[in-house]
Amino acid sequence: MGINVIFELFKLMNKLKTTYIIFILCFATFILRAQTKSTDIKTINGKKYYIHKVEKGQSLYAIAKIYNIDINSVLVENDEAIEGIKNGQELKIPFESLLPKQVVAIDTNKYVYHKVQKSETVFGICKKYNIDEKKLISFNPLLNKGLKEGEYLIVAEKSSKKNIGNSQAVVLPNTVIPIKSTVTYTVLAGETLYGISKKLNISIDEITKLNPEVKDGIKQGQILKIENNKDAVVLHMDIDSPPLVVIKDTLSFHKPKKSNYNVGLFLPFKLTESEQLIIEDLLRAKSSFPNAQNVALDFYFGFKKAVDSLISKDFDVTISLFDIQENDSAKVEALCKTAEFIKLDIVFGPLYANVFKQVTNYAKALQIPCVAPITQQSKILYNNPLVSKVNPSQFTLIESLADFSADSLYEGGNIIIVNSTQKDQVYVKAFKKRYIEDLIKLGKTIKDSIVEVKGLAGVKAKYISGKKNVVVLLTNSPVYLQDFITQLAVYSNKKDFVLLGFESITAIDNLDQGYLNDLNFHFATANHTDYSQPGTIDLVKQYQQFYFSNPSEYYFEGFDIASYYLSNLKLQGPDMFIYLDKFNYCGVASGFKFFRPDTSTGFENRAISIYKYSNYKLQKLGW
């Protein structure tokens, strides 16, 4: 407040008579002196705090200066201040800063600091911040006397910048400070104290300490207090803004429901290549965008269509579009440090695994859930429980085919798997492993349950008349597939064959679809649009009327993904992102049935359907 008033006073001084100047300066001095420490002092959980009431126009930086304390210490004690402060808000100001007293004064406006952890070495710190030992010692002359646990070292200057694309981004390493807080956990149906302790990675004694009543048992809906012992990451956003303190892990993720959510769509629009394109003209002329742009546009159109259907007086969505390509790692680095990224509640994309992982590294610290709409790579799920992947991996599809074979085709069947090409051997091994595991679980005989052959000659040698001969062909090579399936179809005349493989077989241009019908072709997929369904017909008509062309599969995927996530967000609030396995859904083209092996890993969608060719039509066998 004082700085703004003084600025206005100095503007007035040029208009006032000289006799008033002394009075004005005295008044300005009075205003500055009025910003003193609060006299409201309270002890909370054994720790003494000033209770400071925010005045209009005050900043966190100004408040920290009043109490001669580091701004990080204010943020650690007031989580809600991370999103900004407002007039009348009460802040807990600790009597002492979290930063230890040092011989060298700490200046967080000029330098970046690292808190020395137990057993850390100079070599390890230099490697972490990519500086040499001489540079580190020049920042910290007393380092020659050795490292001290809890000491803060200067590791970078905040004035160092580098260009990223057309923008400027501050290149600063993140620092870590300790933080403690208490969160709540609501007991779900059928949960036990042991199960909750494993889910939250804490001991039963820790739960009992804060919730003595659990000794008598727990019940559904009961609210437990959980002590959240973890670190906070200090993100250095830009050179002119104070650092942002955020939670490092997400095991105790909890955010309240809101009436408006900020959603980020990271898609390859390729705007710089599209500046000369007139979208309306292309659509009306039924022209095509380059493939990546077509994917991005159709996904967005479908996504927006679903959003519009969900908007109500108590639920609104603000969509922010980010143009991200496969090799935009530098651009992503700069983008994730912007205020626009920080305010997001959910991120959908990017489509490419490498930049998606880069985004999730920042989003995890900010507790922003991320959704991978297309990539199949499972490694993006590791060590981040707020990530979910809609498109199952190739191996998950293979496991589904093996499950179906063991359950529905084993009895009276002759299972033959073709070892087609060298690079497809991993698929063959995955199918055989899962298939035999299924048979053991089902208590069936595994001896000679599946045979592995080379090429069509091998299939012919293992063919058994009078049995259902199931040929498993796991390759995506169009040349191999076209030749093999054509010859198998000719050989199968009046013979009982079932062909299993990937959905990509159906897209081979020169392959006679009649062969797939004759071979009773089965495939597993997570995304398949049935254009005969009324809901699909209606969506297609609306798309054609508005865009003057036919939608691609990505339009329906965008529609289904938005429908699933945002309808659950509307009903459940943000907490739904750590309970995705509780919410199943069947959309127009995609199903959603999430699974994760443990609470430290993200969710993979396993809503996979088996389709088969029957009477020249595709028949869905469930999911």
Residues 7 and 22 in one domain: yes
Q: Are residues 187 and 149 in the same domain?
A: no
Q: Pairing between strand 603-605 and 387-389?
A: parallel
Concatenating the DSSP letter of every residue in 576-623 gives GGG-GGG--EE-SSBEE-EE-SSTTS-EEE---EEEEEETTEEEE---
129 and 193 in one domain? no
**184 and 137 in one domain?**
no
How many of the other CB atoms lie within 10 Å of CB of 600?
A: 15
In a domain, 271, yes or no: yes
Same domain, 513 and 398: yes
The pLDDT averaged over each successive group of 10 residues in the chain (623 residues) is 36 37 37 64 84 84 79 70 76 68 51 77 79 83 77 72 34 46 73 76 82 87 74 46 47 78 91 49 43 84 94 93 89 90 95 92 91 91 92 92 88 88 89 91 81 94 92 93 94 90 90 92 90 88 86 94 95 89 90 88 92 87 66
CA distance 83 to 344: 12
Amino acid 252: pLDDT: 56
Q: How far apart are CA 25 and CA 45, in angstroms?
A: 44
The reply to whether 464 and 561 lie within a common domain is no
Q: C-alpha distances in angstroms, 218 versus 223, 228, 578?
A: 9, 20, 21
Interatomic CA distance for residues 521 and 501, integer angstroms? 8
6 and 121 inside one domain: no
Total of domains in the chain: 5
The SS3 of residue 227 is strand
Residues 350 and 306 in one domain: yes
Rounded Cα–Cα distance for residues 545 and 301 (Å): 13
Check which CATH number belongs to the domain holding 516 and give it. Answer: 3.40.50.2300
Indicate whether 619 belongs to any domain: no
- The length of the chain in residues reads 623
Task: Answer for the pair 363, 339: CB distance below 8 angstroms, yes or no.
Answer: no
Q: 45-51 — which CB contacts under 8 Å span 24+ positions?
A: 47/94, 48/94, 48/95, 49/77, 49/92, 49/93, 49/94, 49/95, 50/92, 50/93, 50/95, 51/90, 51/91, 51/92, 51/93
DSSP per-residue letters across 364-412: HHHT--EEESS---GGGGTT-TTEEESS--HHHHHHHHHHHIIIIISTT
Domain annotation covers residue 613:
no
Per the DSSP assignment, residues forming a β-bridge with 316 are 260
For position 139, which CATH number holds?
3.10.350.10
Q: Are residues 180 and 294 in the same domain?
A: no
From 94, 125, 159, the end of a domain falls on 94
Q: Of 382, 350, 387, which is closest to residue 367 (Cα–Cα)?
A: 387
Q: Helices 425-441 and 394-404 meet at what angle, rounded to 10?
A: 40
Strands 223-235 and 175-186: antiparallel
Would you give the end-to-end CA distance of the chain in angstroms?
62
Over the Cα atoms of the chain, what is R_g? Answer: 31
Cα(34)–Cα(113) distance, rounded to whole angstroms? 32
Question: Is 335 inside a domain boundary?
Answer: yes
pTM of the predicted model as reported, rounded to 2 decimal places: 0.60
Residues facing 171 on adjacent strands: none
Question: Hey, what amino acid is at 236?
Answer: H
Distances (CA, A) of 474 to 327, 422, 426, 428, 525: 31, 12, 10, 7, 14
329 and 406 fall within a common domain? no
3-state secondary structure of 565: helix
Place of tokens 């700069």: 334
Whether residue 255 is contained in a domain is answered as no
The pLDDT score that the predictor gives to residue 346 is 97
Domain limits for position 417? 394-525
What is the per-residue DSSP string for 157-206?
ETT-EEEETTEEEE----EEEEEEEEEEEEPPTT--HHHHHHHHT--HHH
At residue 271, the pLDDT reads: 62
Instruction: For the sheet with 175-186, list strands across it.
Output: 175-186, 223-235, 244-247
Alpha carbons 208 and 355: distance in angstroms, whole number:
42
**Listed residues 153, 170, 187: the one ending a domain:** 170
Q: Which residue type, as a one-letter code, is found at position 346? A: I
Same domain for 403 and 520?
A: yes
Is there a single domain that holds both residue 474 and residue 457? Answer: yes
Residues 6+ apart with CB under 8 A from 504: 476
In a domain, 612, yes or no: no
Q: Which of 130, 146, 170 corresponds to the end of one domain?
A: 170
Residue 521 counted as domain residue: yes
Strands (E) across 41-193 are located at 41-44, 47-53, 90-94, 111-115, 152-157, 161-164, 167-170, 175-186
601 belongs to a structural domain: no
Q: Extract the tokens encoding 58.
A: 């005050």
Dihedral angle over CA of 407, 412, 414, 417, nearest 10: -10
